[in-house]
Amino acid sequence: MRPAPGLVLTVALVALASACAGPRPVVRSQPPVDRPADTPPPSGAPAPACYASLDRLPIEYRPLPPRRTTEGCGFDDGVQLLDIGVPVPGLTAISCPAAASLYKWISEDVQGAAAIHFGSRVVRIQSWGTYSCRPVNSRPGGRLSEHSYGNAVDIAAFHLENGKVIQVESGWKAGGDETAFLRDVHKAACNRFEIVIGPDGDAFHRDHLHMDMGPRGPYCR
């Protein structure tokens, strides 16, 4: 059977339109934006601007040269805190934004809570460190912890001027002023840092407060 003339014309026009339109673009889904495995995260502020903000605080610090490791750890804006008003043994390299948040948390929030609950000042803070090239929770094969970028700090205990020592592990659920103090400084940390994990977060943090400036926040637990 010979096709009708109108049908032939329609088919020809459709073919011509397709040819003129060119090839159909291929739509690809965008890959999720995530941190490259071998590159430290960008800091919260350009290093010169962040250093200028530290210069306005009553602290002493030393800028550190950029660091890179074969595992992908390192930082661009690390500092060594020399004097932040309260001795904090265990602090090593820390990113500039995390250093600023730590100072403000200690000088305003921690000291304020100590005055309210104990009528005393914090004169020493026990830290379990800042920079450490390792996976999250030290689990082999896991993604790198924010400690790997100097972007995190762990706090385990607070020593008061009156001689009292408040430990996160024993005080978190002890009740009374110790628990109230720890809950207050934990809550305040959530307003200073992007991620804060305490004993209610998981078993890995049953004995300290983890605070970091990582990109996966805000998270407060």
| Segment 104-132, tens digit of pLDDT | 999 999 999 999 999 999 999 999 999 99
Within 8 A by CB and 6+ apart from 112, the residues are none
In this prediction, residue 36 has a pLDDT band, given cuts at 50, 70 and 90, of very low
> Treating both helix axes as pointing N-terminal to C-terminal, what angle do 47-55 and 96-104 enclose, rounded to 10 degrees?
30
Please report, rounded to a whole number, the percentage of residues in the chain having pLDDT higher than 90.
67
Dist. CA 145–CA 138, nearest whole Å: 8
The domain ranges of the chain are 47-67+74-220
Q: What pLDDT score does 128 carry? A: 93
- Hey, which CATH number is domain 47-67+74-220, 3.30.1380, 3.30.420, 1.10.540, 3.40.1620? 3.30.1380
Read off the pLDDT of each residue in 54-77 and give the average, rounded to a whole number: 93
Residue 40 pLDDT more than 50?
Answer: no
Read off the pLDDT of each residue in 142-155 and give the average, rounded to a whole number: 92
Q: In this predicted model, which residue has the larger pLDDT, 216 or 13?
A: 216
Residue with tokens 């159909």: 24
The length of the chain is 221
